[in-house]
Amino acid sequence: RRFRGGLDVTHGQTGSESVYCHFRDKEIMFHVSTKLPYTEGDAQQLQRKRHIGNDIVAVVFQDENTPFVPDMIASNFLHAFVVVQLEQGGPRGTLYKVSVTARDDVPFFGPPLPDPAVFRKGPEFQEFLLTKLINAEYACYKAEKFAKLE
């Protein structure tokens, strides 16, 4: 039985699909908002918020170049955001632009973003992104809120 990231794998209350990967001896479960069930009549969508709002690092995927304001997401736990935007790649294939933001008390975490921070879809990008996400979580644990828990 694999890591389930807090998702209900028995009764399906958190949906029937998820995104999971195994990377460098780590199991990673992504809480994807569009894969978590939509609850009719629940304007707040508390089931979705319960999982995403309790994460420490979030990946925000944007189809278009629109501003991302982390303060729009109210959470005591989310401390770092990795924003991935689809770029027009044309004949070069699919490209992604990456940006990172974190709360002030989160120390820098690598690998550093190249300049420009644009990646071609493929294994190198996957390696970079997963490494960045894991390091982001470790850096967030050093933030004041989490450091007090140790």
What residues are paired with 57 via a beta bridge? 80
Q: What does the H/E/C string look like for 62-78?
A: ECCCCCCCHHHCCCCCC
Q: In what order do the strands lie in the sheet with 57-62?
A: 57-62, 80-87, 95-102, 118-120
| Assigned CATH class of 56-147 | alpha beta
Question: Positive or negative CA dihedral for 28, 34, 38, 41?
Answer: positive
Instruction: Give me the helices (H) in the chain, please.
Output: 46-52, 123-140, 144-147
Phi, psi for residue 99 in degrees, rounded to 5: -135, 160
Question: What pLDDT sits at residue 43?
Answer: 76
> pLDDT tens across 69-95, in order?
888 887 889 999 999 999 877 787 899
Domain ranges of the chain: 1-52, 56-147
Q: What is the pTM of this model?
A: 0.80
Spatial distance between the Cα atoms of 144 and 140, rounded to a whole number of angstroms: 9
> pLDDT tens across 106-124, in order?
999 999 999 999 999 999 9
Token duo for residue 48:
């979705």
Highest mean pLDDT among 3-7, 108-112, 140-144: 108-112
